[in-house]
Structure 1
Amino acid sequence: MPTLTKLYTMKEASEHNSAGDCWVVIDGKVYDVSSYLDDHPGGDDVLLQATGKDATEEFEDAGHSKTAREQMETFCVGELDPSDIPQLEVVAEKQKNYVPEKLVQLSKQYWAVPVAAVGISVVVTVLYLRKK
């Protein structure tokens, strides 16, 4: 495989977003899939929806075969400029907000459990103190 020397920004890659000129970005690489639109098993609309953004997650979720991954390399036209890849910041932001958001959702959903525990504790304490 030849060394990729051409670097693109996400903005440059996203400008190629029509049926006649369709580029997708997957794993930091830029692919010109214009000639593959009619042959794509999932249809051309799947590829057209992937333009203008990093489509790595969608690509991985689709469960592409080893053969499909090898074929994809023939469409590679370059890489994203490393200074233009915001993925690490986005992942860190998602992870930072995920746990507190999940806890808030659970606490709203199961608020009765801690309230019941406190109520039972109060009743047990009052009964215990009455016996003394």
Structure 2
Amino acid sequence: MPTLTKLYTMQEASEHNSAGDCWVVVDGKVYDVSSYLEEHPGGDDVLLQATGKDATDEFEDAGHSKSARELMESFCVGELDTSDIPQLEIISKKQTNYFSEKLVDLSKQYWVVPVAAVGISVVVTFLYLRKK
């Protein structure tokens, strides 16, 4: 009979953020590392800082060994429910071109003001020096 995996939202996982109750999320899995805080080679503060967010990048950047990854599985309490995570909007190339065209249009519009200010100051300076 297959084991049912409990799903947790990021909000639920982030509520476990103290030394006595510490959960971290790595690669879509939720781990209760409360009992491992004092044994963690990087210190308990590293794990406490990883709560409330997806800590996959930090975990991978630390270069954990195969045995560390195997040990981590013993702390797994469930998986992250990804149905409530907002999806990023993919911007098409047409939209990107539209935004860049708008930016170019704005920069064309607003070059007049600084050029006019410089032109006026040159004319005023020329007239002032000519009167002297």
TM-score normalised over the length of structure 1: 0.63
Counterpart-to-counterpart distance in 1, 2:73 and 2:85: 20
Q: Name 1:70's counterpart in structure 2.
A: 70
Deviations 1:14-38 (A, max 9, x none): 0000000000000000000000000
- The share of aligned pairs that are identical, in percent, is 84
Aligned CA-pair RMSD: 2.1
In structure 2, what is the Cα distance between the partners aligned to 1:43 and 1:64?
Answer: 14
* Equivalent pairs, count: 91
Q: Does 1:27 pair with 2:27?
A: yes
Asked if 1:89 is matched to 2:88, the reply is yes
Q: Which runs of 5+ in 2 are unaligned?
A: 97-132
Give 1:4 shift. Answer: 4.9
Q: Deviations over 1:108-132 (max 9, x none)?
A: xxxxxxxxxxxxxxxxxxxxxxxxx
Other-structure match for 2:8: 8
Structure 1: gaps spanning 5 or more residues = 98-132
1:42 aligns to what? 42
Q: For residue 5 of structure 1, report the CA deviation from its aligned partner.
A: 1.4
**Runs of 4+ residues over 6 Å off in structure 1:** none
| SS of equivalent to 1:63 | coil
* Change over 3 Å in CA distance of 1:9–1:67 after alignment to 2: same
User: Shift of the alpha carbon at 1:6?
Assistant: 0.3
Partner of 2:121: none
1:88-123 Cα offsets, whole Å, 9 max, x none, are 629x68xxx9xxxxxxxxxxxxxxxxxxxxxxxxxx
> What one-letter code is carried by the residue in structure 2 that aligns with 1:89?
L
Instruction: Give the conservation status (yes or no) of the 8 Å contact 1:4–1:79.
Output: no
The one-letter code sitting in structure 2 at the alignment partner of 1:31 is Y
**Which structure has the larger Rg over C-alpha atoms?**
2
